[in-house]
Structure 1
Amino acid sequence: MPPRWKFTPSEAVPAGATFDPQNLKGKNVIVTGGASGIGEFVVRGFVEVGAFVTFGDVDLARGEALAKELGAVFVKCDVLKWEEQLELFKKTLERGGVDVVVANAGLDGEDTILKRQPITPSNDPTEPNLRILRINLIGVAYTARLANFYFSRTPKSDHSLIITASLSSYIDHPFSPEYNASKWGVRGLMRSLRSTTGVSGMRVGVVAPWYVPF
């Protein structure tokens, strides 16, 4: 049976590539994890070029303050809660559609796979909570699912899903197997999605920063 779509592998964007920010003016943009860190800079950048930004975060105080400062829309959103991500997308849809989605929410911290515990003759190992892995990978998978669905509600748009990965998506990251696995995972998610744009109708890419001071 012939394939239902043509496989067309894409190339990485050259480091020196430029773009016209005017193309983003008036676009409806969603950013997860947008209240601080890289996400905050992403929100500010899109607002600066004239996009309408709706962003989610678990930090209610910082999110509301940033939204008030910039004239953006904030939705309290834990990316592991499907209903909260759904509300984030529905708020954006109220503004006419969804053009760009930035799956940025992520977490680093103490790794529960390698976490040490007291050893006695009788104790068993504690179950790891794997929160880092779940937020960084399952949360992004939720975002990708919602983006694919709601992009179809916005015709005549250059739909784009951007995933915040990490240099840890490409290299060994000692002492952080949860984080390392999650970031390799989102890179794998991107590579599958980008190769099926004939079905999904969206461009997909990752950005892979290293440690960023704030």
Structure 2
Amino acid sequence: MAKVAIVTGGASGIGYAVAQSLIESDHVVVIADLNEEVGAKAAKELNCYFIQADLSQQQDNKRLVEQTVEQFGRVDILVNNAGFQHVCSVEEFPEQTWNTMISVMLTSPFLLTKYCWPYMKKQNWGRVVNIASVHGQVASPFKAAYIAAKHGLVGLTKTSALEGGECGITVNTICPAYVRTPLVDKQIADQAANHDIEPDEVITKIMLKNAAIKRMIDPEEIGQLVNYVVSDAARSFTGSNLTIDLGWTAQ
């Protein structure tokens, strides 16, 4: 029987690549996204199922899992990928933006893990993959909420992994450096304004400054790594931070 996967933020970027990779490995995939039009278009392209959800709202997280189980009778894999970025100093950071970012990137992964857990536990098999960031391990200026959420996600992963081991559930984090996605493209302009440099300089002077490999990561690389992490070949991986950061944290 094909395993059923939920991928949040699946309409574009990393989430889209993850969904595509899982589908190519014969998984049934449900993508969730805030934007109904973009999500429906992506689901049609991928030939998968789409559920519109505002993951900053508790009830939408619960509904996402309930609708998935109602439609397919099970949930085997959860990929917590949804997120967004706001580049701003701590002093000027809007409180509501902070609250929303923490809700989407930390509280939602907790809620979705909580709601998927009973189904995974019952079948004695489950995979939770949290897409964090190199910024779950190190910090950079002007990204307070993003970095706080990603650090918290690493902690949530470790705790969940310890609880899930005896239930056949593995929980891991993937920590990529800059991936070439629409989210990162938007950051380039924001970073240029904050650092008072040209957009072309952002990639070389900021995004790739600490990288040994001087290129951006392709979303497909993350998709392939997720596909491995949820496979039986990776059944001994749990509580791990799988870093794909071009050598950033090797320093």
Tell me what 1:75 maps to. 51
Unaligned runs of 5+ in 2: 182-251
Distance 1:207 1:127 in 2: 28
Q: Is the 8 A contact 2:62 2:111 kept in 1?
A: no
2:92 corresponds, among 95, 115, 127, to 115
| CA displacement 1:164-206 (0-9 Å, x = unmatched) | 0100011122121111111100001111111122465411000
1:1-214 residue pairs with structure 2 within 5 A?
A: 26-93=2-69, 94-111=71-88, 113-115=90-92, 127-130=95-98, 131-153=100-122, 155=123, 158-198=125-165, 201-214=168-181
2:222 matched to which residue of 1? none
Q: Which amino acid aligns with 1:137?
A: L
Go from structure 1 to structure 2 and tell me whether the alpha carbon gap of 1:178 and 1:30 turns closer, same or farther (over 3 Å shift).
Answer: same
What is the distance in 2 between the residues matched to 1:57 and 1:40?
A: 10
Secondary structure of the structure 2 residue equivalent to 1:196: helix
Structure with greater helix percent: 2
Per the alignment, do residues 112 and 41 of structure 1 end up closer, same or farther by CA in structure 2, a change over 3 Å counting? same
Residues 127/96 of structure 1: CA separation in 2 closer, same or farther (3 Å cut): closer
Give 1:57 shift.
0.3
Asked if 2 retains the 8 angstrom alpha-carbon contact of 1:114 and 1:175, the reply is: no
Say if 2:87 and 2:142, in contact at 8 Å, map to a contact too: no
Q: Work out whether residues 136 and 154 of structure 2, in 8 Å CA contact, stay in contact via their aligned partners in 1.
A: yes
1:111·1:175 contact (CA, 8 Å) conserved in 2? yes
Q: Find the counterpart in structure 1 of residue 185 from structure 2.
A: none
Tell me the TM-score normalized by structure 1.
0.76
Structure 1 residues 136, 111: CA separation in 2 closer, same or farther (over 3 Å shift)? Answer: farther
CA RMSD in angstroms, aligned pairs only? 2.0
Partners of 2:96 and 2:165 lie apart in 1 by 39
- For the Cα contact (< 8 Å) 1:56–1:63, is it kept in 2? yes
Q: Equivalents in 1 of 2:103, 2:64: separation in Å?
A: 19
CA distance 1:81–1:199, change in 2 (3 Å): farther
1:103-128 alpha-carbon deviations (Å, 9 max, x no partner): 11111113473327xxxxxxxxx745
Point out where structure 1 has 5 or more consecutive residues left out of the alignment. Answer: 1-24, 117-125
SS in 2 for 1:47: helix
Deviations 1:54-102 (A, max 9, x none): 1100011111011112221100011122222222212221312111110
- 8 A contact 2:89–2:141 mirrored in 1: no
Q: Distance in 1 between matches of 2:96 and 2:29?
A: 36
Largest Rg, 1 or 2 = 1
| Contact 2:121/2:169, CA 8 A, preserved across alignment | no
Which residue of structure 2 lines up, in the alignment, with residue 4 of structure 1? none
What's the % identity of the aligned pairs?
A: 28
